[in-house]
Chain A
Amino acid sequence: MLKGHLDMIVLAALTNGPAHGYAIIQEIQRRSAGAFELPEGTVYPVLHRLEKNGLLSSRWTIAESGRKRRTYTLTRQGRQAFANHRAVWQRFVDAISGLFGEASGATVRPHR
């Protein structure tokens, strides 16, 4: 189920500012309170694809360790895409909440 929403999850993790892949994964785990335990490697192709689609930009930086590190930033198009994703998701959540709210008042009949 997560795979269909990976783009939105990665975009969301970058809304606080630029970050590198490892930090993005940590941020996803922190914000989801550990609910989204993604295989770490799946995030990198998503970052690459979002960059190619113009939603992210990236550049090499040098980490404290002296290693090269790729840092990603949301572009304006990326912020817009995230806002659209969030609006669609909110409508979905509202609709499901309404549906479940009605359902919780109904009596559940066992199958015979």
Chain B
Amino acid sequence: MSTSTTLEAPNTGTWDGGNEPLKASYGKLMMWFFLLSDAFTFGSFLIVYGLSRHSHMPYTGKVEDFYFSTEWWPIPEKVFNAFPGLHGMDLPLAFVALMTMILILSSVTMVLAVEAGHRMDKNDVQKWLLWTILFGSIFLGCQAWEWAHFITGDDKGMLLADGTTVFGANLTVNQYGPPLFADLFFFITGFHGTHVFSGVILLIMVFINTVNGVYHKRGHYEMVEKVGLYWHFVDLVWVFVFTFFYLI
């Protein structure tokens, strides 16, 4: 190597390479742009939801007199009013409120894990990652229950014009309203649930690496940050799903 005596002075401009013009590492940038593209995907779902909903009649009568019919789009709080263990009680949006709380809490424990990573506090990172995995798994369990209840239906069902009664929901017919309502429920919450599931898998992988001291040896916990970005995005999507599917 002693022969290479004529080294040129390196270019040190912003875009000459070897530096970070956006003050963020390659991995973090790519996570941001992946999340941006994922936002496009969920945006398209919301467009489909809005158009499908708009192409059906809204319910125009009094809220107290509401009943399920394929004639109109159902009122969400009349559909999602069940709670595990409290059979037959009308608790509008109670369970989904619990799920929202769990997901926001999991977001908080995720930030705490990232914060602990900045301080190179391995024990704290492990602790908060475990909490996040726990809350994420609980959320998935809640969603499994929600789906099971949605598919099974309530005791009343919906009387069809031909005299038969429909209970619960599948992709072609459901007791809550037009077929598209159940289809979009499965599609949108299912896609979000898949994201949560992938997130939990990623968190478990990062947790194992943390326990093994991989990031400590590397000198930084950036991988926790990157998975954290993904996890917050999942929370963010839920905020929108919650508003557009359950509230409006």
Whether chain B is bound by chain A comes out as no
